[in-house]
Structure 1
Amino acid sequence: MPELRPSAPARRRVRLIATDLDGTLLRDDKSVSDRTVAALAAAERAGIEVFFVTGRPARWMDVVSDHVHGHGLAICANGAAVVDLHRDGLILEVRPLERSDALTVVKALRTTAPGTSFAVELTNGIHYEPEYPPFHLDPVATVAAAEKLLAEGWHGADQPVLKLLAHHPRLAPDDFLALARTAAGEHASLTRSSPTALLEISGRGVSKAATLAHCCAERGIAPEEVVAFGDMPNDVEMLSWAGTSYAMANAHPDVLAATSARTVANNEDGVAVVIEEIVAAQPPV
């Protein structure tokens, strides 16, 4: 078991906890443990806001919707949407990927990484190409080439694009990400959170960190008052922005390099372990 390294939460007041879900707050079976549920409730009783910050779209937030307690705001789709979980995942803010930029990325990856297949995540659901892997089939999805799904005249064109997904059947995940950033990084924000070669592509400047910073600024919360948790490359910017950041023991090497502290793995309730310490050390208001 890796050694826990207590950091700033023990010495100053924490006002907000930002936690990733998959591989971080959730166990591998996608459950939220009783210990974690209790820790989240204790944080909110101590006056600490809890934000779930995830690559998941709003429609996949049912895994935590029963555990949101008093606040219920989530940052979804890697920062593209702010969602109110108390109102059935109502999308409050959107930071879209412009269709022209998405089409440019599709063209670049078709050239530099032949065999790439795409899916388009809109505010009302996902649509994908015939070759795209059946990760989460949607019976009402439109199956068509990405160029059609992104065309201005398509029937879904009135819905903002939250992100473009790109999958490659042969490239190593980190190699695919590096190749894609070189080919198309000036047109969009590219990251990944899957163990497969699946990239998540958002609008330029859109990230978990950027949207979290915006939400915190609205509340008068400084980065130094935020503790963040994560495990994959799509968490790196958020973890670098937060005053204190924890990598899970199961984290990607890039996350381990970006964080100031460590906790145990997601299956050992690593987030709950740290939250318990924060609540116990929280100075009075």
Structure 2
Amino acid sequence: MTSATEPETPAARRPAATPRLIATDLDGTLLRDDHTVSDRTVAALAAAEAAGIEVFFVTGRPARWMDVVRDHVHGHGLAICANGAVVADLHDGGRFIEVRPLPEAAALAIVRAVRAAAPASAFAVERTTGIHYEPDYPPFRAEPGAGIASAEELLDGDGDHGGPIVKLLAFHPELAPDEFLDLARTVAGEHGSFTRSSPTALLEISGSGVSKASTLAQCCERRGIAPEEVVAFGDMPNDLEMLGWAGTSYAMANAHPEVLAATTHRTAANTDDGVAVVIEQILHGLPRP
């Protein structure tokens, strides 16, 4: 196991291959607990881009919640949002470059199956035009334009509910988070991709095959970047596929146990600028011009 907080050695200082791209989650990873980007991290991101290493933010957040990092996307300006369902151009006001939707029929089948297995579940529907949710769903941010109705009504194909679905969310007030995730996958996994990133029992559901990893892989393929040339950072189950795909992956010290078990590299916690620590070590190991 390699730790970014251990004394520097050549092996600890640099990944197996000189990276061409850094992919990092935001909440619990790049951002501090107050949802800000530290000065040290801002400087590290800029230095990576100056060294010719692209940086991609890869997050479960919707594109409209990306203001906190908008000024720190260099070069390409792109971010992967909604767990891979959206690629947005942050240099162009968050304009959607690509959308990988969850079909309405699949979303409705998931709602019915999960509600039957866990009747206290409450749902929200995240579309390209914004979020709508059931009366019992606890909104985690003020969303003035949100519609409130049953999920069945929100998924009524005859209604005017906005653009394509990018994510279905399911919340349970009593079940443990991983218990709810396992249950939902068991009863409805054939209809979509299930994951979570919240400490509460809040599930995030995308179209089948849609994940941070699959969309990042597409973005890298278009750039001629191999997995071995990618360094990835994450802390929660929605990062697992991405961390497994990238050639070099780091779990934050504050990561979920599954993430810690699935990665061989560690870095400091998000509150201690763990991503910046590794970027600084990578840049220190690069040959001087």
TM value normalised by structure 1: 0.96
Structure 1: runs of 5+ lacking an equivalent: none
Question: Structure 2 CA distance, aligned partners of 1:271 and 1:125?
Answer: 30
Of 149, 153, 172 in structure 1, the residue corresponding to residue 154 of structure 2 is: 149
Residue 169 of structure 2 corresponds to which residue in structure 1?
165
Quick check: 1:54–1:208 contact (8 Å CA) kept in 2?
yes
- TM superposition shift of 1:174: 0.5
Residue 219 of structure 2 corresponds to which residue in structure 1?
215
Quick check: 1:7–1:244 contact (8 Å CA) kept in 2?
no
Quick check: 1:10–1:282 contact (8 Å CA) kept in 2?
no
Question: Structure 2 CA distance, aligned partners of 1:31 and 1:140?
Answer: 25
Residue 73 of structure 1 corresponds to which residue in structure 2?
78
Corresponding position: 1:87 with 2:92 = yes
Aligned ranges 1:115-154 → 2 under 5 Å: 115-154=120-159
4+ runs of 1 displaced by more than 6 Å?
none
- TM superposition shift of 1:259: 1.1
Corresponding position: 1:278 with 2:282 = yes
Corresponding position: 1:175 with 2:179 = yes
Question: Structure 2 CA distance, aligned partners of 1:243 and 1:11?
Answer: 8
Secondary structure of the structure 2 residue equivalent to 1:271:
helix
Give aligned-pair identity as a percent: 70
Question: Structure 2 CA distance, aligned partners of 1:283 and 1:93?
Answer: 36
What is the CA RMSD across the aligned residues, in angstroms?
Answer: 1.5
Secondary structure of the structure 2 residue equivalent to 1:186:
helix
Q: Number of aligned residue pairs: give it.
A: 283
Question: Structure 1 CA distance, aligned partners of 2:178 and 2:166?
Answer: 22
Residue 54 of structure 1 corresponds to which residue in structure 2?
59
What amino acid sits opposite 1:59 in the alignment? R
TM value normalised by structure 2: 0.95
Quick check: 1:9–1:244 contact (8 Å CA) kept in 2?
no
Residue 253 of structure 1 corresponds to which residue in structure 2?
257
- TM superposition shift of 1:282: 2.2
What amino acid sits opposite 2:104 in the alignment? R
